[in-house]
Amino acid sequence: MVAVKRPKPKPIRMMPGMVDVTAERSERIKQAAKDLGFDRCGIARAGPIEHGDFLKAWLARGHAGTMGYLHRHTESRTDLRTWLPWARSVVVVASSYKQGKCQKVETSTTQAAESAEHREGLRGRVAMYAWGEDYHVVLREKLERLTAWIGEHVDAAAQSRICVDTSAIVERELAVAAGIGWIGKNTLVLDPAIGSLFFLGEIITDLELDPDAPMTDHCGTCTRCLDACPTAAFPQAYAMDARRCISYLTIEHRSEIDPELVERMGDWVFGCDDCQTVCPYNANDHQTAEPRLMGDADAAAPMLDDILSWDEAAYHRAVTGKATDRAQLQMWQRNAKIARRNLER
């Protein structure tokens, strides 16, 4: 059979009064995301990320520590189309988890003054993102509703894939490409109105949608986030050595921690917010409207004695249905011992 070479279709010229269908449905999807309670929604083209070479070099330097899974599927992390060749667009959403005033909980000074008789009252600190229900579940359920809306109101035949922090893609790069914000010097995505205290989620789709323009970096000469890191986890701006990050040490690192870093970990028992609490863009009045992401005082500052007394059953009761189940029981108790020593020092 002789192959027939067909001419490429000419692009449609928009005439006055004509409706740009791609732009119109893109805006409708973003409005639907807003109606579902997402704080931000933007669209990126499916394709190579901007800093793919940086990612590969970062991994090669060993800055991922023991997170071996980051070395797998580097092709899809740098271009998701190697995983999903049908992908054409990525709908990126942001959901704030900010609660109360964004400020460091000043517990260390007062707690350190506790007498030996009252040491059972010492508390550790948990990063704000983990106070409420497991964000993987909360965001996925909302993205499933958005996907269903797209199928009902945009294209019933649309193919899609939902991602919430567990797929081999670089979400922050997609968020920047979708105009959600820029990558700050602490390597987190920053939005000028809602700061950096938000989760990201994606719908990868075969729909042709209008991409949003990337946002300009507004960090300027500010280095507060870099200066605030107790363990000096940033060898330079926009680059983090995870091996020194308190979040990595308390959540991902399974074995003993370098004594030189132990003394700098303060009272953190799960994660760390230090580089975010000092950011001027987080000094805003914005708070999450999602009740499932909210937590109470015990979620934010659990009793160290409670953690140290956990058996397997108590541990599972404490972490089931929350992002805090990422750290194993022995890691929680290791972290609690470190927090106690630092508070009593």
Q: Catalytic residue positions?
A: 165
Contact 258, 332 (CB under 8 A): no
CA dist 273 and 252 (Å) reads 16
21's tokens: 């269908």
d(Cα 80, Cα 87) in Å, to the nearest integer? 8
Tell me how many degrees the CA angle 269-270-276 measures, rounded to the nearest 5. 110
Specify whether the CB–CB gap between 100 and 219 falls below 8 A: no
Concatenated DSSP letters of 181-220? -EE-TTSSEEBTTTBT-EEEEEEEESS--PPPPPPPP--T
H or E, element range at 308? helix 304-309
Q: Which of 137, 130, 127, 191 is nearest to 164 (CA)?
A: 137
Contact (Cβ atoms closer than 8 angstroms) between residue 98 and residue 281: no
> For residue 125, what are the β-bridge partners?
268
Neighbours of 195 (CB within 10 A): 23
Element (H, E) at 125: strand 125-126
Which run of H or of E encompasses 163?
strand 160-163
Half-sphere exposure of 234 (CA within 13 A, CB side): 19
The DSSP code for 79 is B
DSSP, residue by residue, 39-65: SEEEEEESSB-TTHHHHHHHHHTTTTT
Gap between the Cα atoms of 103 and 71, Å rounded: 35
